[in-house]
């Protein structure tokens, strides 16, 4: 009995002494929606972060210090995200945070990081995250507003001016619809039909019939992600509507082509270079980054990384670069270095941050793609 106690004590002491050198580590926090309704966002994002942490530690860490990822799964719940934000800052003492798979969870966490002065890189889409600029908040995905601009520019270039919109009633669809309606006037385009669908709807022929029967419609814009846009596309073909269709970057993945089937032919959407990694022309600045990331992800997980996974990749690389530049793990120094990011080529685009722009992407980060015979084709 006594022997056992002694052994336990010895083990405890050993554990304590072993723990002290590990203090020289950089703790990076994250809260993502790995389960729940937004899990298709959070799941590949976490996989990417875990892969990158292993990679960087295998290469000797950042400035010689090991990186540790402290992760929580908020399941898409804004309240939980906020609790985890507080825990990350107060208990886990992280130097920076990556996360917020959705706009809702991101906005719930923002006040915590602003108050505690911890740099935070969000992986969510909506423009409200960085407009107005918040001192400690950055983000890597393009905004829904940019998607609208890219789409309308293309419609304008085709000489069309009257569009019908159909948007999801979820957060993304709602936000993108508002942004599109706000920006559409600048392109001399008019939204003549404006329909919505519920997140679980299984048939959108009714809404599409209404759009088809609206006088003068020349193109249709779909704002949403998940299964909705795929069903819209299939119903579009079922009804035999013969107008150009535009989707958002929310469906920019091969899964969309698979779900929508032949109906996807001719659909155009703004996507990232990651989607067309294999057909990026030689000399494209993103080619190397994108192909390397894609290959590494496929090797480790046996599946293709999604556009969303790419946002996590960029967030992590931006953070690593900022910590290296800052030469310290002081959150304020990291923040300053993040804001000074310039010419950083990621998988989403080229990042040029400034005190006025905490996203740092321009429209060139979006490529206008078209689906032809089940393959992505670059439209120029």
Partner 1 sequence: MSELLQFLFSGLTVGAVYALVALGFTLIYNASGVVNFAQGEFVMIGGMTTVFLFDAGAPLWLACAGAIVVAMAVGYLLNKLAIEPARGASIVTLIIITIGASIFLRGVAQVVFGKSIHRYPAFSGEAPFVIGGATILPQSLWVLFGGAAIFVGLWLFLTRSITGKAVLATANNRLAASLVGVNTNAMMTLSFALSAAIGALAGVLATPITLTSFDVGVALALKGFAAAMLGGMGSPVGALIGGLLLGLIEALTAGYISSEYKDAAAFIVILVVLFVMPSGLFGRAATERV
* Of 135, 262, 324, 356, the one binding partner 1 by CB under 8 A: 262
**Is 198 one of the binding residues for partner 1 (CB under 8 A)?**
yes
* Of 197, 311, 316, 351, the one binding partner 1 by CB under 8 A: 197
Whether 314 and 350 have beta carbons less than 8 Å apart is answered as no
**Is 195 one of the binding residues for partner 1 (CB under 8 A)?**
yes
CA-CA distance, 100 to 123, in Å (whole number)?
A: 6
Neighbours of 309 (CB within 10 A): 27
Of 54-62, 103-111, 190-198, 288-296, the segment contacting partner 1 by CB under 8 A is: 190-198
240/281 with CB nearer partner 1: 240
138/256 with CB nearer partner 1: 256
**Is 205 one of the binding residues for partner 1 (CB under 8 A)?**
yes
CA-CA distance, 320 to 325, in Å (whole number)?
A: 9
307/341 with CB nearer partner 1: 307
CA-CA distance, 34 to 81, in Å (whole number)?
A: 12
* Of 230, 276, 290, 359, the one binding partner 1 by CB under 8 A: 230
Least distance from partner 1 to the Cβ atom of residue 304, Å? 11
Neighbours of 35 (CB within 10 A): 14
**Is 202 one of the binding residues for partner 1 (CB under 8 A)?**
yes
**Is 270 one of the binding residues for partner 1 (CB under 8 A)?**
no
Query: Hey, what are 366's tokens?
Result: 């979006």
**Angle (deg, nearest 10), helices 103-116 and 171-183:** 90
Q: Is 220 helix (H, G, I), strand (E, B) or coil?
A: strand
Whether 307 and 274 have beta carbons less than 8 Å apart is answered as yes
| R_g over Cα of the chain | 23
Query: Hey, what are 380's tokens?
Result: 């120029």
Query: Hey, what are 56's tokens?
Result: 């960087």
Of 10-18, 92-100, 131-139, 191-199, the segment contacting partner 1 by CB under 8 A is: 191-199
**Is 156 one of the binding residues for partner 1 (CB under 8 A)?**
no
**Is 301 one of the binding residues for partner 1 (CB under 8 A)?**
no
226/270 with CB nearer partner 1: 226
CA-CA distance, 266 to 264, in Å (whole number)?
A: 6
Least distance from partner 1 to the Cβ atom of residue 275, Å? 16
Tell me, what DSSP letter sits at residue 280?
P
Query: Hey, what are 9's tokens?
Result: 């004590």
CA dihedral 186, 189, 193, 198 (to 10 degrees): -50
One symbol per residue from 26 to 65: x for binding partner 1 (CB under 8 A), - otherwise; what is it? ---------x-x-xx--x----------------------
225/313 with CB nearer partner 1: 225
34/98 with CB nearer partner 1: 34
59/200 with CB nearer partner 1: 200
* Of 114, 156, 169, 291, the one binding partner 1 by CB under 8 A: 169
* Of 102, 179, 196, 248, the one binding partner 1 by CB under 8 A: 196
In the chain, which residue ranges form alpha helices assigned H by DSSP? 2-19, 39-58, 78-90, 103-116, 144-157, 171-183, 205-212, 227-238, 254-260, 287-301, 307-326, 331-339
- Report in angstroms the alpha-carbon separations of 378 from 248, 276, 280, 291, 375: 15, 8, 9, 17, 10
**Is 259 one of the binding residues for partner 1 (CB under 8 A)?**
yes
* Of 76, 173, 226, 331, the one binding partner 1 by CB under 8 A: 226
151/263 with CB nearer partner 1: 263
Residues at the interface with partner 1 (CB under 8 A):
35, 37, 39-40, 43, 169, 195-200, 202-203, 205-207, 209-210, 213, 226-227, 230-231, 234, 237-240, 255, 258-259, 261-263
């Amino acid at each position: 009995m006594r022997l056992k106690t002694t052994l336990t004590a010895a083990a405890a002491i050993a554990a304590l002494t072993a723990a002290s050198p590990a203090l020289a580590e950089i703790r990076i926090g994250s809260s993502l929606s790995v389960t729940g309704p937004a899990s298709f966002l959070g799941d590949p994002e976490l996989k990417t972060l875990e892969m990158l942490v292993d990679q960087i530690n295998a290469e000797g860490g950042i400035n010689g210090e090991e990186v540790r990822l402290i992760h929580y799964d908020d399941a898409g719940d804004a309240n939980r995200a906020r609790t985890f934000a507080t825990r990350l800052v107060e208990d886990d003492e992280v130097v920076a945070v990556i996360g917020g798979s959705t706009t809702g969870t991101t906005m719930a966490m923002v006040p915590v990081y602003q108050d505690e002065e911890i740099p935070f890189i969000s992986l969510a889409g909506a423009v409200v995250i960085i407009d107005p600029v918040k001192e400690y908040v950055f983000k890597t995905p393009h905004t829904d507003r940019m998607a609208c601009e890219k789409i309308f520019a293309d419609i304008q270039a085709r000489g069309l001016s009257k569009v019908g919109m159909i948007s999801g009633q979820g957060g993304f669809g709602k936000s993108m619809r508002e942004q599109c309606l706000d920006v559409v006037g600048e392109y001399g385009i008019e939204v003549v039909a404006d329909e919505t669908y519920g997140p679980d709807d299984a048939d959108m022929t009714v809404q599409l019939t209404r759009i088809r029967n609206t006088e003068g419609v020349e193109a249709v814009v779909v704002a949403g992600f998940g299964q909705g846009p795929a069903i819209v596309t299939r119903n579009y073909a079922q009804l035999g509507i013969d107008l150009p269709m535009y989707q958002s970057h929310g469906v920019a993945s091969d899964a969309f082509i698979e779900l929508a089937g032949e109906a996807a032919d001719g659909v155009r959407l703004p996507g990232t270079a990651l989607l067309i990694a294999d057909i990026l022309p030689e000399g494209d600045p993103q080619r190397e980054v994108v192909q390397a990331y894609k290959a590494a992800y496929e090797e480790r997980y046996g599946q293709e990384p999604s556009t969303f996974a790419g946002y996590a990749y960029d967030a992590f690389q931006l953070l690593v670069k900022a910590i290296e530049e800052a030469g310290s793990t002081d959150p304020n120094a990291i923040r300053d270095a993040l804001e000074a990011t310039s010419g950083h080529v990621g998988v989403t685009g080229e990042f040029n941050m400034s005190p006025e722009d905490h996203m740092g992407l321009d429209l060139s980060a979006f490529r206008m793609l078209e689906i032809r015979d089940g393959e992505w084709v670059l439209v120029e």
